Structure 1
Amino acid sequence: MLIVVGGLPGVGKTSVARAVAGELRAAHLRVDAFEVALLRQGLVPGAAEVGAHGYDLALAAADTCLTAGTDVLVDAVFDVAAARRPFRDLAAGHGVPVHWVRLICTDRAEHRRRVEGRSADLPGHVVPTWEQVRARRVDQWHERHTVVDTATGDPAAAVLAALRG
């Protein structure tokens, strides 16, 4: 199966994705890691030019994993439909289900605390400011998806329950 976890920076995507992928023994593909690698290798001149390239690399890696019969969890913002569409098509091409999960944080103060308290865990990764997160526009998700609020409870358990339910 293919699991797509999206949401604004600072909602807890990577933490939830790591826990869920570990529990399911699925490959965890973090788009941030692909973007940082593009910059580190000098394949794009700067962060502003990364664009969809990180998503494209994650898509290629997901294709390889699905071909090998490995479940895949992709972790990214997925703020525009154009970023989600290729993953839907990939799952369909492999004949596997795709599970869409959108993480939110309804506690604005907590979300801000997380964003402002973050430090990059990938060498070369620049985390966005609270102002940049707030200014980000997200397309409506038309894909049938599960919404999990990371402000309360155990979001990884909620995602696992949705996947198993």
Structure 2
Amino acid sequence: MAGVLVVVGGLPGVGKTTVAQAVAAALPAAHLRIDAFEAALVRQQLVTGPGDVGAHGYDLATAAADTCLSAGTDVVVDAVFDVAAARRPFRELAARHGARVHWVRLICTDPAEHRRRVEQRTADLAGHTVPTWAQVQGRRLDQWHERHTVVDTAVADPVAAVLAAIRG
């Protein structure tokens, strides 16, 4: 019942989905994007709107990750993971499966590049609303107490850095 769970977090616009997709392809692993679960909840009208999604998307992704790990499939999940309560279920899931968990926090130290990414981004999922630069600036991430790797997506190759951390 082992496996690998890679948890990729960070502010909107730092490149979580791009990096997570490439890492999942390289491992290979299933890629679970919290935004996709949240958008599906909105599309299916299971919530009244994006503001009412709350933890439901994270809960659904945890269930999907559980199913993948049970089947022997490694998992890469990406989300903001702004609070410890959002990360805890994935930590517990990895422990239940005896899976190695790799925590990766992406940052973008170039504010102009980060802003460009956010402002040029368009929703690629029906029912998904992308945040504005002001909303991203107003978001705060709590301190990650999980032992994690910080990767700056403004420099070098973030996918190679994440893969090196996983394989190292």
Judge conservation of contact 2:50–2:128 (CA < 8 Å) in 1: no
With the length of structure 2 as denominator, give the TM-score of the two structures.
0.97
What fraction of aligned residue pairs are identical, expressed as a percent?
79
The CA distance in 2 between the partners of 1:12 and 1:87, in whole Å, is: 21
Aligned pair partner of 1:38 in 35, 41, 44: 41
Aligned pair partner of 1:99 in 93, 102, 121: 102
Q: How does 1:1-165 map to 2 (within 5 A)?
A: 1-165=4-168
Shift of 1:125: 1.1
Residues paired across the two proteins, number? 165
| AA matched with 2:7 | V
Shift of 1:59: 0.1
Stretches of structure 1 lacking an aligned partner (at least 5 in a row): none
The CA distance in 2 between the partners of 1:131 and 1:38, in whole Å, is: 25
The CA distance in 1 between the partners of 2:21 and 2:140, in whole Å, is: 25
Shift of 1:137: 1.2
Instruction: Please give the secondary structure, in 2, of the residue aligned with 1:73.
Output: strand
Judge conservation of contact 2:5–2:76 (CA < 8 Å) in 1: yes
Q: Tell me which stretches of 4 or more aligned residues in structure 1 moved more than 6 Å.
A: none
| AA matched with 2:67 | T
Shift of 1:124: 2.0
With the length of structure 1 as denominator, give the TM-score of the two structures.
0.99
The CA distance in 1 between the partners of 2:33 and 2:103, in whole Å, is: 15
